[in-house]
Amino acid sequence: MIRFVEVHKSFGANHVLRGLDLEVKRGETLVIIGQSGSGKSVLL
């Protein structure tokens, strides 16, 4: 299992992740989609 609770990440004044909660259970598949610059790579 992977669990994130209240994850925040910013680069200067640019807030990329704000209060992220995420839980992925064993055997589940997760797809992350979003616009360029939305924080997908930062999350990983």
Query: What average pLDDT does this structure show over 10-29?
Result: 94
What is this structure's pTM?
0.67
Residue 38: pLDDT over 90: no
Residue 43: the pLDDT is 86
Residue 39: the pLDDT is 84
- The residues pairing with 15 across neighbouring beta strands, listed in sequence order, are 10
Rg (CA), the chain: 11
Residue 2: the pLDDT is 94
* pLDDT greater at residue 31 or residue 38: 31
pLDDT band at 29 (very low <50, low <70, confident <90, very high): very high
42 burial (CB, 10 Å; 0-12 / 13-18 / 19+) is: middle
